[in-house]
Amino acid sequence: MIELVLAFSQHVCRQSLATDLFTRSWKAALASLALLCTLSLSASAARQVNIRLEGEIIAECAIGNIGGSTATLDLGDLSRAGSKDYRFRLSCNTPFAYSIEAQYGALTNKTARAPEGSPATLPYEIAIHIPTDGKPIDDHCIGDSLRTGRVRCPFSHSSNSIALDAESRLTVAWTAAMLGLAAGNYTDQLTLSVGIRQ
């Protein structure tokens, strides 16, 4: 907030009575002088104005990544234990909260029919790291706790902190695939959402 004061100089009221004394009575001259002084003082009072400037920045959150709103994280060979990071930038100029949902809650084989009695899914877990100007967010959840409609992972929030262009990370980790797991393409879809903390 900036306050700007504009001021103009005042002029002293001076009026010669010489002419009025010759053409009018001295009472009329004094009355005329008093009127002129009153008008001058009233005008000078209006020559100063205080202008207060106000504005605001709208609270907002945004997730930035290279691939736009949809991205693919290639996990590679699932027959061996491993992990992969998905890096993104998060900007929230106000305290915020986030959530993650998974379509299946496990890496699921949708390209081949699993043999009878064999599992068609591979469990995984996630870890998310979001730096803030206070304490960072560091959460861990198993995939099954993220299933859409049955989310039970206790996500934390930023408390009173904010994150401005924070380099963040979502890590997906899995154990070695069990014997008997059918060959094929195993997939799941995660949806990361972020918003203003209510």
Q: pTM of whole model > 0.85?
A: no
Domain boundaries, the chain: 2-53, 61-196
Distance CA 44, CA 118 (A): 93
End-to-end CA distance of the chain: 26
pLDDT tens for the chain, residues 1 to 198 = 333 333 333 343 444 434 444 445 656 655 665 655 555 555 556 789 999 999 999 999 999 865 567 889 999 999 899 999 999 999 999 999 999 999 999 999 877 666 665 668 999 999 999 999 999 999 999 999 999 999 999 999 999 999 999 999 999 999 987 766 888 889 999 999 999 998
CB 158 within 8 A of CB 128: no
CB 83 within 8 A of CB 174: yes
Please report the pLDDT score of residue 183 as a whole number. 83
DSSP for 74-104, written as a single string: ----TTS-EEEEEEEEEEESS-EEEEEEESS
Distance CA 95, CA 98 (A): 11
- What CATH number belongs to 61-196? 2.60.40
Contacts of 124 (CB under 8 A, 6+ apart): 106, 107, 142, 143, 172, 173, 174, 188
Please report the pLDDT score of residue 34 as a whole number. 60
DSSP for 117-166, written as a single string: TS--EE--EEEEEE--SSSPEEEEEEGGGGBTT-------B-TT--EEEE
| DSSP state at residue 37 | H
